[in-house]
Chain A
Amino acid sequence: DAGVTQSPTHLIKTRGQQVTLRCSPKSGHDTVSWYQQALGQGPQFIFQYYEEEERQRGNFPDRFSGHQFPNYSSELNVNALLLGDSALYLCASSLAQGSHGYTFGSGTRLTVV
Chain B
Amino acid sequence: QKEVEQNSGPLSVPEGAIASLNCTYSDRGSQSFFWYRQYSGKSPELIMSIYSNGDKEDGRFTAQLNKASQYVSLLIRDSQPSDSATYLCAATERDSGYSTLTFGKGTMLLVSP
The number of residues on chain B lying at the interface, defined by a beta carbon within 8 Å of a beta carbon of chain A, is: 26
- A-side interface mostly: loop
Within 8 A of B (CB), among A65-86: none
Number of A-B contacts (CB under 8 A): 71
Contact of B106 (CB < 8 Å), options: A42, A90, A105: A42
Q: How far is the CB of A16 from chain B (nearest CB, A)?
A: 27
Q: How far is the CB of B85 from chain A (nearest CB, A)?
A: 14
- The answer on a CB contact under 8 Å between A42 and B88 is yes
- The answer on a CB contact under 8 Å between A40 and B100 is no
Question: Contacts A44-B103, A45-B102, A90-B43 known; A98 to B96 CB distance under 8 Å?
Answer: yes
Question: Contacts A100-B92, A102-B46, A107-B43 known; A43 to B101 CB distance under 8 Å?
Answer: yes
- The answer on a CB contact under 8 Å between A97 and B97 is yes
- The answer on a CB contact under 8 Å between B96 and A106 is no
Seen from chain B, the residues whose Cβ lies within 8 Å of a Cβ on chain A are 4, 6, 8, 32, 41-46, 49, 88, 90, 92, 95-106
Contact of A95 (CB < 8 Å), options: B4, B6, B45, B97: B97
- The answer on a CB contact under 8 Å between A102 and B96 is no
Complex contacts, B4 vs chain A, CB 8 Å: 42
Q: What residue of chain B has the Cβ atom nearest to residue A56's Cβ? A: B100
Complex contacts, A102 vs chain B, CB 8 Å: 46, 101
Within 8 A of B (CB), among A21-70: 29-31, 33, 35, 40-45, 48, 50, 55-56, 58
Within 8 A of B (CB), among A90-113: 90, 92, 94-102, 104-107, 109
Q: How far is the CB of B3 from chain A (nearest CB, A)?
A: 11
- The answer on a CB contact under 8 Å between B43 and A104 is yes
- The answer on a CB contact under 8 Å between B88 and A50 is no
